[in-house]
Structure 1
């Protein structure tokens, strides 16, 4: 079996962690990057612009899986320019990867799209796949993102959409701005602190990607019906409120702050962090899905374990 995996936009926190994880387990990893083509740490980097077809499409042909992590980081102030780029970068990458797969003589078995649980907006209700979507810019991005992903049929390639919660781990991701806030003695609750967070550990996320590729690329489907068009939730089994979420983080040395004062809701947009959506509320993803075809874990069916406290160690 060809074990070549394409990571589109794999230069960020999730992509770098996944690339190392897959490479160490014998996969040939190719990262599509806006930077220069190069090779380091047994991973090849191939230039693309994330929007137009070019020679990078040759890497797709004959690969086992394409995992799309591309998109401008939401770790920014939501100016009009940044909002436009957040939206455009996601739609462009989905569309051009779909077109590239359609041109392949030997298309990949599976196309995995990294999405977001932010599609549920601000809610304290438990959310499964059929829960109503929220409102606001982040929700609009997620809805258009998912619509673009499922807009075209790929006859020989299974599509899997992963709605991912906050991925926590050392040296990046959602944890990094939280650590900075704590170090500046701003690590208290955001607003009321009652907003819910759905999260998972980066090690669990990496483990899930590998069996997800095998599980969802089998043909015919093993569960009696097609999983094409499914949305898989990736988060720990137990979500929690923001005020509880921050306690283990603030207690981890050397991050402990002398005092932690709740932050008012109004100044939060001034901080270019991923907490934009936490001003007014959060979401609660129900990991134990009613549809076993839509829940992925270590064996393809189980939800990941949670290790929030270990993330900062």
Structure 2
């Protein structure tokens, strides 16, 4: 396949590009500057947004576009940061829409990143793809507008990939979440009852490629493990994998002081199930937090 990846130099994007090249796909990385693209590969090309705005036909003949572009949410949510987070997502989807509209042969599928924040937070409810949107905070509002922009991309098949917490040994949130345990100071955060919906980076990449390859998949799909866990259980799994204690609780008020509004990501939970992925036959390599954390810290449990 010929696949364009917007945000292909980021945390998820770089892993996806590597996997696509490994299976023999031709890949176009779309980034803010072509110079930010990695070293050249015989099947790898790089383009920037400005080039594509001027000459969208540079992507003529691509079979699929994966849009992972967007400002990181892992920063203090000042008014300026909120504006960047929102606009970067909406504008990337709009640019993809304009590029697709200008192509003579449209790509068969666009996989556009989204987020599980669309469902709102709850300690009691279980959220699946058909659960209604609950817009009651900053992130849920961002995701709602993000998906509305993606819905206007005129392709035969649009997949809205609602991403949960992506766990990787390097990059993303996991190294920071594991750091207190390395220092023998790990424990539950806040009440510890809030649900964490997560996915291992290898399953994240495999799911994106599964969505590209399977024509029966469209609309929202939850990129999350079938087995979300409460924060306390998540921490215990990290502690067990690292051979460290799980004993030092972090009170909610301290998280709010340190992180401000961003603390909602750690204090408010969502129990999200990937019903569409499961019904479509996707197989998770790391379905449980114990298996995932053992792999991430480089240790294997012995029977």
Does the alignment reach a TM-score above 0.5? Answer: yes
Say whether the 8 Å CA contact 1:187–1:250 is kept in structure 2.
Answer: yes
> Which has a greater percent of helix?
2
Structure 1 residue matching 2:166: 3-state secondary structure: strand
Offset, 1:181? 4.0
Say whether the 8 Å CA contact 2:94–2:150 is kept in structure 1.
Answer: yes
Q: Supply the distance in 2 between the matched residues of 1:163 and 1:7 (Cα, whole angstroms).
A: 17
Offset, 1:244? 0.4
Offset, 1:14? 0.5
Offset, 1:174? 2.5
Say whether the 8 Å CA contact 1:233–1:285 is kept in structure 2.
Answer: yes
Instruction: Name the residue aligned to 1:247.
Output: 236
1:123–1:250 CA distance, 2 compared to 1 (3 A): same
Instruction: Name the residue aligned to 2:264.
Output: 277
Offset, 1:178? 1.1
Structure 2 residue matching 1:105: 3-state secondary structure: coil
**Comparing 130-139 with 119-128, which one deviates more in the overlay?**
130-139
Deviations 1:156-189 (A, max 9, x none): 5311111121111221122132133434555321
Structure 2 residue matching 1:267: 3-state secondary structure: helix
Aligned residues: 288
292, 298, 303: which is aligned to 1:308? 292
TM-score by length of 2: 0.86
Q: CA RMSD in A?
A: 2.6
Q: Supply the distance in 2 between the matched residues of 1:248 and 1:275 (Cα, whole angstroms).
A: 24
Q: Extract unaligned runs of 5+ from structure 2.
A: 299-303
Q: Supply the distance in 1 between the matched residues of 2:260 and 2:32 (Cα, whole angstroms).
A: 23
Q: Supply the distance in 2 between the matched residues of 1:206 and 1:274 (Cα, whole angstroms).
A: 29
Say whether the 8 Å CA contact 1:75–1:274 is kept in structure 2.
Answer: no
Instruction: Name the residue aligned to 1:106.
Output: 105
Offset, 1:300? 4.0
Q: Supply the distance in 1 between the matched residues of 2:185 and 2:148 (Cα, whole angstroms).
A: 37
Instruction: Name the residue aligned to 2:129.
Output: 129
TM-score by length of 1: 0.83
Deviations 1:23-50 (A, max 9, x none): 0110111111123345515233322269
Instruction: Name the residue aligned to 1:237.
Output: 226
Q: Supply the distance in 2 between the matched residues of 1:49 and 1:259 (Cα, whole angstroms).
A: 49
Aligned pairs for 1:155-234 (under 5 A) are 156-184=155-183, 187-216=186-215, 228=218, 230-234=219-223
Instruction: Name the residue aligned to 1:219.
Output: none
Say whether the 8 Å CA contact 2:73–2:85 is kept in structure 1.
Answer: yes
Offset, 1:273? 10
